[in-house]
Amino acid sequence: MNTLKKTAWLLITAALLALSACGGGAGASPTIDPGAVYTAAVETAYAQLTLTALAVTDTPAEPPTPTATLTPLITNTPLITDTPLITNTPFALTPIGPTQDLCDKFLFISDVTIPDGAIMGPGVTFEKTWRIQNTGPCTWDDGYVIVPGWGDMMSGPYIKKIPHDVKPGEMLDMSITLAAPTTPGEYFGAWRMQNDRGYPFGIALTVLIKVVNP
């Protein structure tokens, strides 16, 4: 039996003892109604039980212990960048320094052979020649070459030296050997002059052909 029940029984027992003490004798006080005494004892016991319950329930509960904050495993840092992995320059030249050296300049004069738009049979080998003029203050020596720029390489060389020295103001016929692709269609390639320090200079020298079946 818990404490609250014990308190109720003690109050009821005390009331009954008081009732029996007042029960007889000539000089006794007026008769007390036992039911009323019992009812009062019960009400007193329940009042005591109610006050005890209120005292228990009014006690504020301890605040919950905060749990540890979990650090998210995924951040807002994008995993994919905007940098393209594939470019439109299959064999583009990557210069080591400036793309234009003030000492090296040239003027395009003409296509000596195979003008742009020339028609070729599939797989035909041909020699493309450009005529240019050295318009800079420096002489071109055997360190000057022609290299692929972008577009279709057409089986051309990765590097070819100029055939002789070219002084300022002189002309140069620069030639490379190419081969038409075997599939019909239009093909374009661009080539660049490069000085003896590895810097490309001047405009692109182009090849544009149309391959058709015989």
Query: Are 117 and 187 found together in one domain?
Result: yes
Count how many domains the chain has: 2
Q: Is the pLDDT of residue 160 over 50?
A: yes
Task: Say whether pTM exceeds 0.85.
Answer: no
Mean pLDDT computed over 12-39: 49
Inside any domain, residue 116: yes
Cα–Cα distances in Å, from 45 out to 36, 51, 56, 58? 14, 10, 17, 20
Inside any domain, residue 67: no
Q: State the pLDDT at residue 3.
A: 53
Inside any domain, residue 150: yes
Identify whether the C-beta of residue 146 lies closer than 8 Å to the C-beta of residue 191: yes
pLDDT in tens, 38-88: 455 545 554 554 555 444 444 455 555 555 555 544 445 444 444 433 333
Question: Hey, what are 169's tokens?
Answer: 């103001």
Here the CATH number for the domain that contains residue 145 is: 2.60.40.10
Query: Are 44 and 115 found together in one domain?
Result: no
Query: Are 110 and 206 found together in one domain?
Result: yes
Inside any domain, residue 95: no
The CA distance from 186 to 177, in Å, is: 18
Q: State the pLDDT at residue 141.
A: 96
Residue 16 structural domain: 3-22+31-56
